[in-house]
A and B are shown apart, each in its own frame.
Chain A
Amino acid sequence: MAQPAKTPVVFAPWEDETQKPVIQFKNVTKRFGNFTAIDNLSLDIFEREFFALLGPSGCGKTTIMRMLAGFEAATEGTILLGGKDISPVAPNKRPVNMMFQSYALFPHLSVWDNIAFGLRRSSMPKDEIGARVDEMLRLTRMEKFAKRKPHQISGGQRQRVALARSLAKAPKLLLLDEPLGALDKKLRHDTQFELMDIQEKTGTTFVIVTHDQEEAMTVASRVAVMDHGKLIQVATPAAIYETPNCVYVADFIGEVNLIEGNAKKVGADKYEVSWAEGQTALRGTCPREIADGTRVTYAVRPEKVAISADKPKDAANAVQGTVHDIAYLGNISTYHVMLPTGQIIKAQASNTRRLANRHFTWEDKVWLSFTDTAGVILTE
């Protein structure tokens, strides 16, 4: 699920001190009556980024987007766009465009007029509008449907028109609110790559709101995981997946085995977690300093757990158990292995051989092993 590098040069403006962020949230709080939707949030987003806001519904991700578009005002704090405070700027004056979850295409206008709608209200000369609309139609491969009304095209086509319309004014920032929510799974996948392609071609900064972790991982350069109006972790998809900073993030993104225990320092960033009587302590990594005896959670991803019949030599961690359940998914199988303590650990194995040649079956005694870098120690 980790994202392949788009360009040979690593794109990471958030690590470069000289880069100025295009959007800055400074201690922003938003309250609706007694309900706090956004809680003292600070965030920098850089130019050309594809930034994903990820979280369960009601976590405040849509509120952030609506504040950027200008439909909501922050209760406290400031939001800067290109270094300027945007709170006094009306939505129609902001160099920001939004692609709505419902697409919000104007039903009484044709596809062509929908895309031209924003341009007609800008300072663009009339003769250039036609060329720009045609360019947008080409970009989204909708040339053939220019004269149709929105109710005369399919859902996927509507989604592309909505994208073309929001990109037509060449905004500094494009906001996408669950843009692929209404599409079926296969079309979603194709469209995700199309979105990345268009983002790269136009060089626009994209901020996408989604509750689909796979979608966020696929398209984004950085992902912000949110909960209850707070940012829990902001990092690249790979960092979020490999080194989550808390149990919430580890559990929210992908599958994970979580084991509670007490930490003891054994190396520079290595710790041992004693988790049950009579069981060998598990060795894992944590970049932060942890005091000995702290209650921690040991997290390891199922695909990083190897399964074998004999005890592997030189493995940092090895535990024995019996196969409790097998989930066959075609390309991979997930083994649910029950440890003597009653705990279930999931291990994934690629099905490189045919099903008939499978090594393990129900009630087999097996060994699970994983390295001390695969095991991440979480303090919260």
Chain B
Amino acid sequence: MRRFSWFNATSLTLGFAFLYLPMLILIIYSFNGGRNVAIWAGFSTKWYGELFRDQAFLDAAWVTLRVGLMSSTLATILGTMAAYVIVRGGRFKGRTVMSGMLYAPIVMPEVITGLSLLLLFIAIGLDRGLVTIVLAHTTFTMCFVSVVVSSRLVTFDQSLEEAALDLGCTPWDAFFSVTLPIIAPAVISGWLLAFTLSLDDLVLASFVSGPSSTTLPIKIFSAVRLGVSPKINALSTIMIAIVAFGVITASLINKRSVTKRLKDEQEAAAS
């Protein structure tokens, strides 16, 4: 056990205050009874009620949710396929260039991605709406899924797949009954990453969304420009709660599986 040190305590407090103080203030003010966001006027949950009666916000939330689910699922399928080919496809011509190109969109400015997608959709005559946002988010999040999945595939023992083929699997069967179950944690965390990225994307969505398909970040951004309403605080608090719940659950599941595995291995070594 380390001794208490004033230096450690101070740096820890400062660091966490820097990270979480803004959010804490936002959460506190979401329970403010008054109309003015900067003046405390007693505890109340009335802004939450207001929020759930505001049809425009509910519509935007519904659009965001659907876009998130669809684009992250699509990005996970495409990203996993791409990672699989890049890692497992052997040394085909242009492999290095292609793997570089797969990850390049991560560092590409979103404004450029958004603009180019907008031009593409106009060129092929696709009306801006839900579909275009889903496509844009898939483009943008797919490379993140690829990074997560390929890092798992690199450490994956290839003889497992060969063993599956050897025991009578077709290549498809081998992928679904051996490879996929083993890389599943990476695929799931890739999906979660894609979903979160889609949930809070503002730049791409503002390029490719249509009049009937406003996402929550766009709605919040435009609402704030007209003046900060306590309703936005309430909405943000709900989003923080959802994200926190997701992150904590995922890490608990992960931690439990790791400790169980360690325990199993110790028992095996002892027996």
Residues of A within 8 A of B (CB): 69-71, 90-93, 96-98, 100-102, 104, 106-108, 117-118, 121-122, 148-149, 151-154, 165-166, 169
Contacts and interface: CB of A to CB of B under 8 A. Distances in A.
28 contacts: A69-B162, A71-B162, A71-B165, A91-B165, A92-B165, A92-B166, A92-B167, A92-B168, A92-B170, A93-B168, A96-B166, A98-B163, A100-B163, A101-B159, A104-B157, A104-B162, A104-B163, A106-B160, A106-B163, A106-B178, A108-B181, A121-B168, A121-B173, A122-B168, A152-B264, A152-B265, A165-B167, A169-B167
B166 A69 contact: yes
A100 B167 contact: no
B271 interface: yes
Contacts of A69: 162, 166
Given A149-B264, A153-B268, A154-B271, A97 B167 contact: yes
A91 to B, nearest CB: 4
Contacts of A97: 166-167
Contact of A152 (B162, B168, B181, B268): B268
Contact of B268 (A92, A104, A154): A154
Given A100-B159, A100-B162, A117 B167 contact: yes
A121 B268 contact: no
Contact of B167 (A118, A148, A154): A118
Interface string B250-271: 0000000000010011011101
A311 to B, nearest CB: 60
B30 to A, nearest CB: 44
Interface string B161-195: 01111111110010000100110000000000000
A91 B167 CA distance: 8
Contacts of B170: 92
Nearest to B166: A98
If over half of A's interface residues share one DSSP class (helix, strand or loop), that class is named, otherwise mixed; here it is loop
Given A107-B182, A151-B264, A154-B268, A121 B169 contact: yes
Contacts of A122: 168
Contacts of A98: 162-163, 166
A101 B158 CA distance: 12
A193 to B, nearest CB: 23
A107 B267 CA distance: 16
B268 A151 contact: yes
B166 A108 contact: no
A100 B164 CA distance: 11
Interface string B31-72: 000000000000000000000000000000000000000000
Interface in B80-131: none
A97 B157 CA distance: 18
Contacts of A117: 164, 167
Interface residues of B, number: 23
Contacts of A104: 157, 159-160, 162-163
Contacts, number: 69
Contacts of B166: 69-70, 91-92, 96-98, 166
Given A121-B168, A152-B264, A102 B269 contact: no
Contacts of B268: 148, 151-154
A97 B169 CA distance: 12
A345 B261 CA distance: 56
Contact of B168 (A71, A148, A154, A169): A169
Q: Which 10 A-B pairs have the closest CB atoms?
A: A118-B167, A121-B168, A104-B163, A104-B159, A91-B165, A100-B159, A108-B181, A152-B264, A152-B268, A92-B168
B217 to A, nearest CB: 38
Contacts of A101: 159
Nearest to A120: B168
Given A97-B166, A121-B169, A154-B268, 18 more contacts: A69-B166, A70-B165, A71-B165, A91-B166, A97-B167, A98-B166, A102-B157, A102-B159, A104-B157, A106-B163, A108-B182, A121-B167, A121-B168, A149-B264, A151-B265, A153-B268, A154-B271, A169-B168
B269 A154 contact: yes
Contacts of B173: 121
A139 B125 CA distance: 67
B165 A152 contact: no
Contacts of B167: 92, 97, 117-118, 121, 165, 169
Interface string B227-271: 000000000000000000000000000000000010011011101
B158 to A, nearest CB: 9
Contacts of B163: 98, 100, 104, 106
Contacts of B165: 70-71, 90-92
B34 to A, nearest CB: 56
B261 A151 contact: yes
A106 B159 CA distance: 10
A118 B168 contact: yes
Nearest to A148: B268
B169 to A, nearest CB: 6
Contacts of A102: 157, 159
Nearest to A154: B268
Nearest to A118: B167
Contacts of A118: 167-168
A93 B167 CA distance: 9
A106 B269 CA distance: 19
B95 to A, nearest CB: 15
A71 B268 CA distance: 33
A154 to B, nearest CB: 6
Nearest to B268: A152
B18 to A, nearest CB: 42
A300 to B, nearest CB: 43
- Chain A CB count within 10 A is highest, among B166, B168, B182, for B166
A20 B160 CA distance: 34
B41 to A, nearest CB: 56
Contacts of A100: 159, 162-163
